[in-house]
A and B are shown apart, each in its own frame.
Chain A
Amino acid sequence: MISAFGAVLFVFILVTALAAAVLRDILAVIIISGAYSLGMALFYAFLLAPDVAMTEAAIGAGVTTLLLLLTVTRTVRQDHNRAIERPNVPALLVCGGFLIVLLMTVAEFPVVGDPAIAWDNPAITQYYIDNAYKDTGVKNAVTAVLAGYRGFDTFGEAMVVFLAGMAALLVLKRGVFTNE
């Protein structure tokens, strides 16, 4: 069952997500999405994932908000005639149907955090918990898996970030390909 703190976060996340959908002013939506990321980070911490929470707070609430604000300064903050978006009925129907289908599957999932069926694959998870410190000398199992067991995966991730940076530079710098 959900605790009071979890329930407050649940409502906060839902309200900020809805506000982001409803508000029209892009600056307001960016600030709301920063608050949403912060709520999400707290929810990850609540669900025993402090490493993910720190990453979400730094990258989701920090870097992404910064990038969005930079985009707004370089583009435009459109008209302010209406504060609220006009509802798009076909999109509402599609997303409402999608939501109903997803909610129908929810009852089939295991109860949240049930210790009896805690992990999808207990033998494998137990292996990492038992051997992470022995194999890598790091007590934090998340760090051990990230930088140890899945080191090449993390290297590939660094490649992705590098390529994304290159792609962004190439897109923003006019005339790189055309010699203008």
Chain B
Amino acid sequence: MIEAYANRYTYVLVAALVAIGLYILIASQNLVKKIIGLSIFQTGIFLFFITAAFVEGGSSPVIDGEGLYASPLPQVIVLTAIVVGVALTAVALALIVRIYSEYGTLDEETLREVRADE
């Protein structure tokens, strides 16, 4: 049982990171911190893809003759996803700056009250 999990350590880390990211996303009252939770959730998923490419005793996918290489295909999709992720973070943070200049708060509860009063 323990060994089965120790042999699949990256999947355990994926599960833990996704759960922590989700917790920050739900529980945090601060909008900026929610975005950080979102990016922790994302990196958990990226780790899942990178694990799928990993080969024990292989080398990184810089091809030099015959041999055992990590698969380049999941790595490329993660590269793309990291860049799209930062684009998403940038837009979210711009919206947060705008929300702050409009309502003067970054707290979710306060924001809800202010909007209810209007």
Contacts and interface: CB of A to CB of B under 8 A. Distances in A.
Interface of A: 1-2, 6, 10, 13-14, 17-18, 20-21, 26, 29-30, 33, 36-37, 40, 43-44, 47-52, 55-56, 59-60, 63-64, 67-68, 70-72, 74-76, 78, 85, 87-88, 91-92, 94-96, 98-99, 102-103, 106-107, 109, 111-115, 118-120, 124-125, 128-129, 132-133, 139-142, 144-146, 150, 153-154, 157, 160-161, 163-165, 167-169, 171-172, 174
Nearest to B20: A17
Interface of B: 4-24, 26-28, 30, 32-33, 35-37, 39-40, 43, 46-47, 50-64, 68-73, 75-76, 78-80, 82-84, 86-91, 93-98, 100-101, 105-107
Q: Lowest 8 CB-CB distances: which A-B pairs, in order? A: A113-B56, A164-B87, A88-B27, A102-B15, A99-B19, A168-B94, A141-B72, A48-B70
Nearest to B105: A76
A114 to B, nearest CB: 7
Given A102-B18, A106-B8, A133-B63, 14 more contacts: A26-B32, A48-B54, A50-B60, A51-B75, A51-B79, A56-B82, A67-B93, A72-B32, A78-B30, A95-B19, A107-B5, A112-B11, A115-B58, A171-B98
Given A44-B50, A49-B53, A103 B12 contact: yes
Contacts of B60: 48-51
Given A26-B30, A47-B51, A112-B56, A118 B22 contact: no
B13 A139 contact: no
Contacts of B5: 103, 106-107
Contacts of A88: 23, 26-27
A146 B79 contact: yes
A63 B13 CA distance: 24
A26 B33 contact: yes
A142 B94 contact: no
Nearest to A16: B40
18 contacts: A17-B17, A26-B32, A33-B40, A40-B46, A52-B50, A63-B86, A88-B26, A94-B26, A95-B19, A112-B51, A118-B55, A128-B72, A140-B63, A146-B76, A160-B87, A161-B83, A165-B87, A165-B90
Contact of B63 (A78, A114, A118, A132): A132
Contact of B73 (A2, A48, A125): A125
A83 B107 CA distance: 16
A60 B36 CA distance: 11
Given A1-B6, A48-B54, A68-B36, A92 B97 contact: no
